[in-house]
Amino acid sequence: MSVTGYLSTKFCEVSRKSEPGNPHGWNSRENYFQVHTHRMQVLYDEGFVLDDGLSVSRLRFDSLVFKGRVRCLHGLFIDVEKFLAIREIGGRIEVRTTTYSYHAGIEGSQDRPIFRYDNFHPYSREGHSDPHHKHVFDPKTWSEVSPPEWIGEEQWPYLSDAIEELRLWWKTIGRYLDLAVDATTDDRIT
């Protein structure tokens, strides 16, 4: 399964019902969480996701926060922080993500960052036309590679896409690194 494969094509159609052409547009609250639950279940069933520590809480009458850590095989994780706007149209409650951060890393006494997608802050100095970007970290030093890569509003990933990218990173890079057994799980070498 590739980063742009099954998960990001088959199920995205379901989440585009309320706003065609805008995959991150307004969506019914029920459908939004049904799609999320289904995507996470597929990742559980495949054995890559071990624990979904995400929770949803209401910030105000017009916003939710979706936050927590998704733990994966090999001590990998993604910290998620998504803020969702809420509106009611004709008795139907709809949500859409306004700001997000998917921070992938390796757990240990000191977590090691791998990548982070977010739109929390703009990079106009680097010529980014909107705030959607990706931070990448060098696996030899765990320091950030500058500047952040602009991904744009059209390309920002779903959480499941970021999880698939993390799985691909492990298969192509992470498994070949000399990682000391410093993780909170003991399945590092598989």
Q: What is the pLDDT of residue 87?
A: 96
**pTM of this structure:** 0.83
Nearest to 66 by CA among 89, 40, 44: 40
Is residue 113 within 8 Å of residue 137, measured between CB atoms? yes
For residue 99, list its beta bridge partners: 83
Which residue bears the tokens 């939004």? 32
Q: What are the φ/ψ torsions at residue 107 (nearest 5 degrees)?
A: -70, 150
- 25-47 residue pLDDT tens: 999 999 999 999 999 999 999 99
Q: What is the pLDDT of residue 154?
A: 84
Q: How confident is the model at residue 7 (pLDDT cuts 50, 70, 90)?
A: very low
- 45-103 residue pLDDT tens: 999 999 999 999 999 999 999 999 999 999 999 999 999 999 999 999 999 999 999 99
More confident residue, 69 or 8: 69
Q: What is the pLDDT of residue 3?
A: 30
Q: What is the pLDDT of residue 189?
A: 40
Is residue 168 within 8 Å of residue 2, measured between CB atoms? yes
- pLDDT for 183 beyond 90: no
Is residue 18 within 8 Å of residue 25, measured between CB atoms? yes
Q: What is the pLDDT of residue 18?
A: 47
- 130-139 residue pLDDT tens: 889 999 999 9
Q: Where are the domains of the chain?
A: 6-176
Q: How confident is the model at residue 13 (pLDDT cuts 50, 70, 90)?
A: very low
DSSP code of residue 123: -
- pLDDT for 8 beyond 60: no
- pLDDT for 181 beyond 90: no
Q: What is the pLDDT of residue 130?
A: 84
